[in-house]
C-alpha cells in the first residue's frame, strides 16, 4: 500500500460521478468484509446508494446478488470497490458484466493483481512508485512550497526521500 490507489480512485470518482445515473464508492472492502455479515452490509450499502436510499429487504449474500443483478442491469453507474483482497468480494459485489447497464464503469483497487485476472476485468492500471526525481519534487512542494529543497535541507530531504521508498503517501 501507500502508492495512492485509493486517493486516485476517490479523485476519479469525485470528478466523474455526475456523468452517471447513479454512483457509489465502497471504501475499505477488505476490512468491512472481514466483519460478521460484512459482505451483506457492503451489498446493502451499494443497493442503498445506487437506488437512492430505497429500503430493500436483503438478508443473505445470495439474495443481495439477485437484487443487484435485477435492479442495476438497466442503470448506467459508476462504482468504486476499494481495497479488495478476495475473489468472493468481487463475485458478490460486481459479479459479471451483465449485472450493470451499458456504459457503467467499475473501478477496483487491490494489491493483488491475480484477483483482477481471475475476475476477467477488461483493463488494469498498475500504480508505480515515484522515481527519485518525482519523489524529490513531491516532497519539496509539500515541505518547501517549491520544486526542490533549499540547499541547507538537501541532505535531510535526500534521506527522507530514500526512506519513503517512492511511496507518495509516505512523502
Is residue 140's pLDDT more than 70?
Answer: yes
Grid cell locating 46: 451499494
Q: Where are the domains of the chain?
A: 5-118, 132-170
pLDDT digits (tens, 9 = 90+) for 126-136: 878 888 888 88
Contact between residue 43 and residue 58 where contact means Cβ atoms under 8 Å apart: yes
Q: If pLDDT is split at 50, 70 and 90, which confidence band does 97 have?
A: confident
> pLDDT, tens digit, for every residue of 29-77?
999 999 999 999 999 999 999 998 765 788 999 999 999 999 999 999 9
Selection from 98, 155, 102, 166 nearest residue 132 by Cα: 166
pTM for this entry? 0.80
Q: Look at residue 112 and tell me whether its pLDDT is greater than 80.
A: yes
Question: 5-118 sits in which CATH class?
Answer: alpha beta
Alpha helices in the chain (DSSP H): 5-16, 29-33, 38-50, 61-72, 87-93, 113-118, 132-144, 154-164
Amino acid at each position: 500500500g501507500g502508492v495512492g490507489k485509493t486517493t486516485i480512485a476517490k479523485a476519479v470518482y469525485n470528478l466523474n460521478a455526475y456523468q452517471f445515473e447513479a454512483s457509489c464508492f465502497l471504501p475499505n472492502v477488505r476490512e468491512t468484509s472481514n466483519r460478521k455479515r460484512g459482505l451483506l452490509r457492503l451489498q446493502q450499502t451499494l443497493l442503498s446508494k445506487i437506488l437512492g436510499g430505497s429500503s430493500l429487504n436483503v438478508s443473505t449474500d445470495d439474495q443481495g446478488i439477485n437484487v443487484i443483478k435485477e435492479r442495476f442491469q438497466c442503470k448506467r453507474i459508476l462504482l468504486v470497490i476499494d481495497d479488495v483482497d478476495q475473489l468472493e468480494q468481487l463475485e458478490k459485489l460486481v459479479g459479471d458484466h451483465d449485472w450493470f447497464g451499458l456504459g457503467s464503469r467499475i473501478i477496483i483497487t487491490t494489491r493483488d493483481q491475480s484477483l483482477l485476472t481471475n475476475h476477467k476485468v477488461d483493463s488494469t492500471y498498475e500504480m508505480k512508485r515515484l522515481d527519485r526525481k518525482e519523489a524529490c519534487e513531491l516532497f519539496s512542494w509539500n515541505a518547501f512550497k517549491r520544486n526542490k529543497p533549499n540547499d541547507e535541507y538537501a541532505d535531510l530531504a535526500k534521506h527522507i526521500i530514500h526512506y519513503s521508498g517512492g511511496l507518495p503517501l509516505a512523502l
